[in-house]
Amino acid sequence: MKKTAGKHEEISYEKGKMSELENIVKIFKNAAEEMLHHQINQWDEVYPNEAILKADIENEELFVGKINNEIAVVYVLNQLCDEQYSNGKWTEEEQGSFKVVHRLCVNPTYQNRGVGRQTMTYIEEELIKEGKRAIRLDAFSKNPFALKMYGALGYNVVGEAHWRKGLFYLMEKLINRNLSWRL
């Protein structure tokens, strides 16, 4: 499916392919380096690494957004919640009523062009079509760019998690409140 990014760019979303793994790993490496330029020590060679991204592709949970056939954004979408997600005061608890966004990564070449926001809006629209009622994610507390974007998109902090890199905020957005009467 295609969505417009900026004024003249279209993003086409599809499942990531094993043939794209090397390029995807490179995009994450470049994004980690770009974050370090902004003193954001969120990703490194340990996470997310090639084995994790390969498993995401094998599980058909990794998606890419392309602009002019170049990968502009990568994300993982599933229902897996780390055990620390139990620290969240989630509004939507029913299994199957939500999905979790992991590892959203905008290729540095396409950063500051609305690609992350456009992708999150696309994910939301697709999950509404699937009948999901909420989106969950976690955001690094020292990543002001991600926090600003998620806040502007209506995500609420519902808890905290502590991983190897420090404090992460657990976030949730209700997307389909009108479905509750149909269930």
What percent of the chain has pLDDT above 90? Answer: 87
Distance in angstroms (rounded) separating the CA atoms of residues 58 and 54: 6
Q: Which of 3, 13, 26 is nearest to 113 (CA)?
A: 3
- Owner of token pair 């060679």: 45
Paired with 136 in beta bridges are: 100, 172
3 state SS for 61-99 = CEEEEEECCEEEEEEEEECCCCHHHHHCCCCCCCCCCEE
pLDDT reported for residue 4: 46
**Tens-place pLDDT, residues 151-163:** 999 999 999 999 9
Distance in angstroms (rounded) separating the CA atoms of residues 99 and 175: 11
Checking if the pLDDT of 12 tops 50, the result is yes
**Tens-place pLDDT, residues 91-130:** 988 888 999 999 999 999 999 999 999 999 999 999 999 9
Distance in angstroms (rounded) separating the CA atoms of residues 39 and 22: 26
Distance in angstroms (rounded) separating the CA atoms of residues 34 and 39: 9
